[in-house]
Chain A
Amino acid sequence: MRNPLSKRIMEIQPSGIRKFFDIASEMKDVISLGVGEPDFDTPWRIREEGIYSLEKGRTFYTSNAGLLELRNEISKYMARTIEVTYQAEKEVVLTAGGSEGIDIALRCMVEAGDEVLVPQPSFVSYVPCVAMTGATPVVIPLQNENQFKLTLAELEAVTTAKTKVLMLSFPNNPTGAVMTREDLLPIAEFVLQHDLYVISDEIYSELCYHGPHVSIASLPGMRERTVVINGFSKGFAMTGWRLGYCCGPEMIIEQMIKLHQFAIMCAPTTSQYAAVEGLRNCSSDVEKMRKSYNERRRFLMHAFQHMQIGCFEPFGAFYVFPDIREFGMTSEEFATQLLMAEKVAVVPGTAFGDCGEGFLRISYAYSLEDIKEALRRLEKFIMKLRGCESGC
């Protein structure tokens, strides 16, 4: 019998998170700070609209690109949030979550011979998605001392004649890093000079705690060179609805719609109707969640300071990325021992790239009570490691 599998798929490593999930789910009384999704239920207005659309029997396919009504709302939303104008008819496509958008954008834009720059630590799907296109992923290891922002020097160092696309993901999962307009300007200038394109994953754009999110697409000359990926999962607490969207120049979006049509047909219809309500009437719900995340972020940073764990202050998403190098263990060893000894689940930084070694991703998409309990256990654990059993 011939091998049914392609070489390409066999070369892709499974997600490092999977292993942790398997161990943690076998254990009892685990308290987890390991989840990459909101702890809030989807705002009731949105759920209610979804229920209503089902009652009305809106259970058919929508157009491939998605409901025009929703694309119109997205177009308005982009204009008011990132100040970039996209034509609803031609420059917006609804996808099955932001993840699909990342996949189809890459498949439409690169092929064997191209290089795609992937700053890491970053979301687990970028490198495998690049690999599946046949293009070469080129990792840029970001640095703690730069607060995990991408710098011009780092970009210059790896760009070659083959480089075509730069993947950007700020606010960042797993570090929580954001890039300001000043941080992005030199990157955009470099992209223009070297005739590159950007796929900018802005799924956490609603979760910025220090001034509003800035999209690279809003910088001079960048709109025509950027595909913005966004969606409803994080800001609107709609992970299970699988609804994302991409905005970009017509030339690229047109091809993405073609691919999307063959692979997915259309994004889930119920989710699309519900999302219209989300964009029209739920900004106060989003604001409330953001406020709550921000409180927990402050609480965590305060606790780390107290425990003397090094951690740069992240201003986005719902993650902190503490430095655990003082303990002389790998991230995976630390996370495994923490899980075994204190039953706290966190994700080793290495799940998001080799340069995450020495760091942990801690999610604060949890109630304050959970966070407090997890921190209590974490403190006990590190006290032991530091060799002082009863407080020092």
Chain B
Amino acid sequence: MREVQQLRDDILHQLEDNGRIDLSTLAVLIGSDEARVANEVAQMEKEKIICGYSALIDWDKTGIERVTALIEVRVTPQRGEGFDKIAARIYNFPEVESCYLISGGYDLMVILDGRTLKEVSMFVSEKLSSLEAIISTSTHFILKRYKDNGIVMAASKEAERMLVSP
């Protein structure tokens, strides 16, 4: 059992770093065999431990306009359902990139991707603020992305090591 857990941990760490790694390489790196790894990955996909694979893109380097906003939302929790129901009302909008229940002065953190500032503002005023349970919102636009998902977005630096050394 512990062995399986270890194998799963190893696989997940590898995939978290590089979702595109091929399973045969992954198996070699963690010292397992491909069939077992493939089986475990399929199993974890089924169990929704692995929920998807995506690329990390620095949109600023493309010509495509994109605006990301962090929206702090205060809501009135509902009897019997707590925050879940209102959260679902929010996260089901396709514009919502992420939605978290958080501790502190606010209840929900909503991360929104839009094409323009206006689009985001419209969403907040028309869709979000108009929900009954919402007490207040506070919208922060991201101005610059320094690091995302553990990856520093700045240009990679030149290798500075000597070519050969003892």
Contacts and interface: CB of A to CB of B under 8 A. Distances in A.
Contacts of B163: 21, 24-25, 30, 32, 34-35, 345
Contacts of B164: 17, 20-21, 24, 32, 34-35, 345, 347
Contacts of A20: 164
Interface residues of A, number: 26
Contacts of B25: 299, 368
Given A37-B161, A39-B161, A295 B166 contact: no
Counting chain A CB atoms within 10 Å of each CB, the highest count among B25, B29, B161, B164 belongs to B164
A162 interface: no
Interface in A293-321: 295-296, 298-299, 302
A298 B31 contact: yes
Interface string B127-163: 0000000000000000000000000000000000111
A36 B166 contact: yes
A338 B28 CA distance: 26
A24 B161 CA distance: 13
B165 to A, nearest CB: 5
B30 interface: yes
Nearest to A33: B164
Interface in A122-158: 123-125
A65 interface: no
A345 B162 CA distance: 11
A38 to B, nearest CB: 9
Contacts of B162: 21, 25, 35
A351 B165 CA distance: 11
Nearest to A125: B166
A15 interface: yes
B128 to A, nearest CB: 37
A382 to B, nearest CB: 20
Contacts of A37: 161, 165
B11 to A, nearest CB: 12
A274 to B, nearest CB: 19
B17 to A, nearest CB: 10
A24 B165 CA distance: 11
20 contacts: A17-B166, A21-B162, A25-B162, A25-B163, A32-B163, A32-B164, A34-B164, A34-B165, A35-B162, A35-B165, A36-B166, A37-B165, A125-B166, A173-B166, A295-B30, A298-B30, A298-B31, A302-B28, A345-B163, A347-B164
Interface of B: 25, 28-31, 161-166
Interface of A: 15, 17, 20-21, 24-25, 30, 32, 34-37, 39, 123-125, 173, 295-296, 298-299, 302, 345, 347, 351, 368
Which 6 pairs between the two chains have the least Cβ-Cβ distance? A34-B164, A295-B29, A21-B164, A24-B163, A32-B163, A302-B28
Given A24-B164, A368-B25, A368-B29, 14 more contacts: A17-B164, A20-B164, A21-B165, A25-B162, A25-B163, A34-B164, A35-B161, A36-B165, A36-B166, A125-B166, A173-B166, A295-B29, A296-B29, A299-B25
